[in-house]
Amino acid sequence: MASDPFQLFDDWFAEARASEINDPEAMALATASADGRPSVRMVLLKGHGVDGFVFYTNEQSAKADQLRENPRAALLFHWKSLRRQVRIEGTIERISAAEADAYFATRARDSQLGAWASDQSRPLDSRETFEARFEEVKRRFEGADVPRPPHWGGYRVVPERIEFWTDRPYRLHERRLFTRAGADWTEGLLYP
């Protein structure tokens, strides 16, 4: 067995990037409000390493509200083509403004403009309203770089548990659980 969950994740992620048809970096992000109301949605992994797993979002969104109220989250990668999944549970850290700026600068221009135009998770009266806001933002930044909106940033899930699940015939799956123990990790198996 491997003793480094991050190396194992890197290996599996590389295989997923080679075999998944769409978005191998897609992950389900589960959060909960202060009163325990759960919510889950798909986001994209934008960085990972021994310090954690990074995604970016509108910091005025429902997910950001929940992360402020309850700074814990769970992630799930499901790579159907490989018949594998990775579950991650941990605490939340904010990404620095410099890191968020650097990542935002790599986004497609329309994605940058969309970050300004969208009041993510808030009610929208019509698609036309959003499209008009997008066109307004497009005109506002015409001929200039699009800066990162002040309400847009990133989060890092700092893992405490990482489970690697492999499908096996007859539901005799393999489940390997890594648990953080201080600066180290312990590994064990779980019944399927």
What does the alpha-carbon distance between residue 97 and residue 69 come to, in Å, rounded to a whole number? 21
User: Of the candidates 150, 138, 149, 140, which has an alpha carbon nearest to the alpha carbon of residue 116?
Assistant: 149
Number of CB atoms found within 10 A of residue 34's CB: 10
Q: Which residues are catalytic?
A: 171
Number of CB atoms found within 10 A of residue 56's CB: 21
Number of CB atoms found within 10 A of residue 110's CB: 12
What does the alpha-carbon distance between residue 11 and residue 77 come to, in Å, rounded to a whole number? 14
What does the alpha-carbon distance between residue 156 and residue 138 come to, in Å, rounded to a whole number? 30
What does the alpha-carbon distance between residue 41 and residue 60 come to, in Å, rounded to a whole number? 16
